[in-house]
Structure 1
Amino acid sequence: MSAEFGGRTGRQGKLSQWLRGRRPKEAADDSGREPLLLAAAEAGLPLAPAAYPAPGYGCSCDRVGCPTPARHPVSFAWQTQSTTDRAQIERWARHQPQANFITATGMVHDVLDVPLEAGRQALVRLLDSGIEVGPVAESDDGRLLFFTLTRGTPEDEDEWWPCELDCHPETMDEHPGLRWHCRGSYVLVPPARLPGDDGHRVQWVRGLEHPLPDPLTLLEVLTDSCARYAGEEPDHTNAAWPLRH
């Protein structure tokens, strides 16, 4: 199995073609932005406006040397601001036409965020095994985002932990390269634009028509793929680990 998914075989070329063939047509430009945002809200993903790229590698926010340009919410109150209300999202999209949007995790959904190559390998393994995989987004900065149901509910506080606890260095050996966005975290929701001159984006490769799965059904394959990726590409191990939100 290691040779099949860990090595660079013809399967990788087929996988790249498979992924490209499933990118929504709307991702090629901004014409489908508002319908995709509304579809995300209708699927239960709470949204809030985010920063967008400025010329060069800049950010639309006022912070000098922003460490996460175009990848963060506009408001510090993003957790309470996030909503699935259609009218509010339409107003935001109309009045802030350049804005990206984030979706707050840990309320309805979580996101398992892995290095791109590890995620691609895992996606094929999951689908080949007949495991239900929900929406998946690809970020051109080298990540694949698996959208899942959240782990808990506000009524079950003892079973919750804030996202920062998933980011401690001591967990890297267990889950190398994996970021579990849950309570207190967020990710960019497609379609989103990233800084740079190459038109980098965050786009769906599996759409919101796929139901959100239980994260634990994906976790073993994702962590295994991340461990293999870390072994193959040791220079990327630290880069794959997240900054705290």
Structure 2
Amino acid sequence: MSAEFGGRTGLRGRISQWLRGSGPQEAAGDGGREELLLAAAGAGLPLAPAAHPAAGYRCSCDRVGCPTPARHPVSFAWQTQSTTDRAQVERWARHEPQANFITATGMTHDVLDVPVEAGREALERLLNSGVEVGPVAESDDGRMYFFTLTRGTPEDEDEWWPCELDCHPETMDEHPGLRWHCRGSYVLVPPSRLPGDDGQSVHWVRGPEHPLPEPLTLLESLTDACAKYAGQDQSSSPWPLRH
């Protein structure tokens, strides 16, 4: 998957330019949004449209007092709607130019979601150690997303094993440290805009051209960094996993 993606003529270079905030953004006319979404879909991340910021801190959805403004899918059927089909992603991107997008986890990939301070420290440690790190996104509301292979096999429920670190959209506040987004969960995928007047967003730190790693190769560094920033000792970490 990653080899095919990386082999597309000029695509890797264009992504690098977008991540630096220069290059084709102006030419694309939409800040490079459509191409970035197609790059994510091309890397195997299933996408679905999400709400977007309205005036101030409001959400584009009709829900009064939306608890997660601009951070949730538009459709209740987002799990079955999520797709990597290029034509469908193009239609969504062009017909809904303001929409954010989510990627559904637990299908082809999971996301390890940590506080940004812990994530930055762990990322530096992992890269300095020569560990293969996949795509990484940062949200300006203080979280960092590490994209990994999924640990389960959704087609075979016997091989899909639960874990104390599982995080679903409705349980986000219960996991202030490390959140493991797997089956039934989602995260915003870059480029997404967050509510407010200060231009906050979700953006790539390492783009989707990087192959997805096994989650357990990152987990120890991430839990150690989370424990440090939470003022916890290692014995209070949520590791080991519960079978």
TM over 0.5, shorter chain = yes
Distance 1:130 1:145, change over 3 A: same
CA contact (8 A) 1:22 1:206 kept: no
Distance 1:176 1:51, change over 3 A: closer
RMSD: 2.3
2:104 aligned residue: 104
Of 25-34 and 101-110, the range deviating more from structure 2 = 25-34
Deviations 1:178-210 (A, max 9, x none): 000000000000000000010000000101111
Deviations 1:129-163 (A, max 9, x none): 11000000000000010000000112442332568
Aligned partner of residue 214 in structure 2, secondary structure: coil
- Given the alignment of the two structures, is residue 216 of structure 1 paired with residue 212 of structure 2, yes or no? no
Aligned partner of residue 70 in structure 1, secondary structure: coil
2:19 aligned residue: 23
Q: Report the Cα distance in structure 1 between the residues aligned to 2:176 and 2:150, rounded to whole angstroms.
A: 21
Q: Report the Cα distance in structure 2 between the residues aligned to 1:163 and 1:54, rounded to whole angstroms.
A: 36
Could you list the runs of 5+ residues in structure 2 that have no partner in the other structure? 1-16, 169-174, 233-243
Q: Report the Cα distance in structure 2 between the residues aligned to 1:216 and 1:22, rounded to whole angstroms.
A: 30
Aligned partner of residue 231 in structure 1, secondary structure: coil
Aligned partner of residue 147 in structure 1, secondary structure: strand
Letter of the 1:192 partner, please give it.
S
Q: What TM-score do the two structures reach when normalised by structure 2?
A: 0.79
Task: Identify the structure with the greater helix proportion.
Answer: 1
Could you list the runs of 5+ residues in structure 1 that have no partner in the other structure? 1-20, 169-174, 233-245
1:88 aligned residue: 88
Q: Report the Cα distance in structure 2 between the residues aligned to 1:164 and 1:226, rounded to whole angstroms.
A: 15
Q: What TM-score do the two structures reach when normalised by structure 1?
A: 0.79
Q: What displacement does 1:120 show?
A: 0.4
Aligned residue runs from structure 1 range 229-244, under 5 A? 229-231=229-231
Deviations 1:49-88 (A, max 9, x none): 0000011100000000000000000000000000011111
- Given the alignment of the two structures, is residue 43 of structure 1 paired with residue 43 of structure 2, yes or no? yes
Q: Report the Cα distance in structure 2 between the residues aligned to 1:167 and 1:210, rounded to whole angstroms.
A: 24
Distance 1:164 1:217, change over 3 A: closer
Of 29-38 and 218-227, the range deviating more from structure 2 = 29-38
Deviations 1:19-70 (A, max 9, x none): xx99342698842000000000010000000000011100000000000000
CA contact (8 A) 2:106 2:182 kept: yes
Aligned partner of residue 111 in structure 2, secondary structure: strand
1:11 aligned residue: none
Aligned length: 206
Q: Report the Cα distance in structure 2 between the residues aligned to 1:190 and 1:164, rounded to whole angstroms.
A: 27
